[in-house]
Amino acid sequence: MPSRKDAWCFMAVVALTVVATRTHRASLAGRFPLSRRERGFMQERQRRTEAAVRAYERAAQRFDASRLEEASAAARDLSAAARRGDAAVVSILDHGAAGDGRGDDAPALRRAVAAAAGATAPRVVVHLPAGRTYKMSAVVLADVEDLELRIDGTIRAPPMDRWPARAEPEDETQSPELRRMRYAFLELRRAKRVTVTGSGAVEGSGRAWWRVRKRRPSVRAPVLLLVADSRDVAVTHLRLAESPFYHVVVLRSSSVALRRLRVASPPGSVNTDGIDLLAARDVTVDDCWVDTGDDNVAIKEGCVGVEVRGGTFYKGHGLSIGSLGEGGTTASVRDVVLSGVRFVKTSNAARVKTWQGGSGAVANVTFRDLDVRAVGAPVVVDQFYCPESQHPGPCANESKAVAVERVTIDGVTGWHTSGVAAMLHCSDAAPCDVSVSNLKLEGAPGCSNVVRCWNVKAGPGPCAAGNAMHGFRFDLSRKERRALAVNATCVHPD
């Protein structure tokens, strides 16, 4: 139990942190009064943000209704196919599942999948019927082929204290990111021609994990759904929620389609990326709605041929390529298209992040026709990525860099809250090749609307005139950078 003195010390630290930013000073207007003009700007920004959130919530309800209707129509088609003899449907209830939310239904799922392997119909489906909750321990479906897993009920992971110790030893030859991704609740391993779909949900029971990992980030938490070493896999229409860690991971797999998914975790969730791709090839993310506590979509090392189109990303960090090159490693991402996505209240929309000292390349990337509402800094290319959470000490300048080549940003519309429409911070050692056009952005009321350029190769667009940092300096401390990002770029002085 903390003492009263400890409590007062904690409150003092919080108070000093609040006072440090102009935004929070507004809440203490009696002691630190803002001008009438600044108060008006802040009220208008709040009004516009709240309107954007309300519009998002209405649109999300429409998306959920249409997603569920599509899934229900597919279920009706399946019933008709089964009556004709064109599909074999294996119910998990016929293999011992209780579906009462209390026992462990994972063995029943394994038995149903094994039984489906002997079916001879053109279409084979393992079905988890609606109206039931299937509580399960971790499941690995390995070497499964030509199968549809239809989830119309709810699959729920066990609470944190019911997870066993890891069965597989750590492979120290793997990258840290790869090791983090190999721990999963529901895994497809070496699967071929498999579809996971339905009107139901996969829930991760992640809240206890988040509380622990806020205090101890080194604690390993499981991914909710992992597709590993597989090809020709589709995951569609499901709701994935409250993952202990990343929600959906595609690892070392090819020809994977993620379509019409609803991914959601509440505020306060920790490292709950929506969709992460690592060493994946030919992946489409189509019309997914992703609301998470970290990257909405992250495209990591070794990915080639990724297309993200349509859908809406809410809160979170938007779409990130990287980070790449940490610890002097070699990593590349190539042939990525992000188009037609709406971003609401995310910290960024499209972001490329690389560490100094690494090697490899981010190449042939297009960000096109993006709609941003109440987004922090919509476009970011950062070759000086070095977050305090991963690198507490000072970040040294390095002579090597992951190259950024043939990146096209064409058509970003809407409004932002940071005062910075785009931040293109490129390496002294390897200036980046970024083409920018059709930025139709405005700052929130009272905010500037600038593009920060550093070492961008000459070309048309806002960086054609050379470096322009608008007061930002790399030699500032992290604390000073945060204060500048919160304050000076946004509210204009009287």
Q: How far is the CA of 271 from the CAs of 67, 250, 314, 422, 477, in angstroms? A: 26, 16, 15, 25, 25
Residue-level pLDDT at 28: 37
Which phi and psi (to 5°) does residue 76 adopt? -65, -40
The percent helix, strand, coil of the chain (3-state, each to 5) is: 25, 40, 40
Q: Report the alpha-carbon distance of residue 130 to residue 239 in Å, rounded.
A: 13
Find the distance separating the first CA and the last CA of the chain, reported in whole Å. 48
**13 neighbors 475 (Cβ within 8 angstroms):** no
Question: Exactly one of 317, 416, 470, 492 is catalytic; which is it?
Answer: 317
Q: Are 308 and 275 in contact (CB under 8 A)?
A: no
pLDDT value of residue 9? 44
Residue appearing with tokens 């499964």:
144
How many other CB atoms are found less than 10 A from the CB of residue 464? 11
Which of 384, 377, 395 is CA-nearest to residue 449? 377
65-90: pLDDT as tens digits: 999 999 999 999 999 999 999 999 99
What residue has token string 């009438």? 36
Helices (H) and strands (E) in the chain, counts: 7, 31
- The residue length of the chain stands at 494
Q: What does residue 169 show for φ and ψ, rounded to 5 degrees? A: -70, 155
Contact between residue 212 and residue 189 where contact means Cβ atoms under 8 Å apart: no
416 is catalytic: no
Pairing of strands 275-278, 297-299: parallel
| DSSP per-residue codes, 61-97 | HHHHHHHHHHHHHHHHHHHHHHHHTSEEEEEGGGGT-
- What b/e readout covers 437-452, taking b as 16+ CB neighbours within 10 angstroms? eebebebbbbbbbbbb
User: What's the rounded Cα separation, in Å, for the pair 438 and 191?
Assistant: 42
Q: Which residue ranges of the chain lie beneath pLDDT 70?
A: 1-33, 165-182, 388-394, 396, 458, 474-494
Q: What is the pLDDT of residues 88-109, one digit of tens each?
A: 999 999 999 999 999 999 999 9
- One-letter amino acid identity for 464? A
In this structure, what token pair is assigned to residue 236? 């569609």
Q: What is the distance between the alpha carbons of residues 357 and 123, in angstroms, rounded to a whole number? A: 51
Token couple for 187: 């895994």
260 token code pair = 């019409």
pTM (whole model) above 0.85:
yes
CA–CA gap between residue 241 and residue 269 (Å, rounded) = 11
- CATH tag for 36-87+123-163+176-485 (out of 2.60.40.10, 3.40.47.10, 2.160.20.10, 3.40.50.920): 2.160.20.10
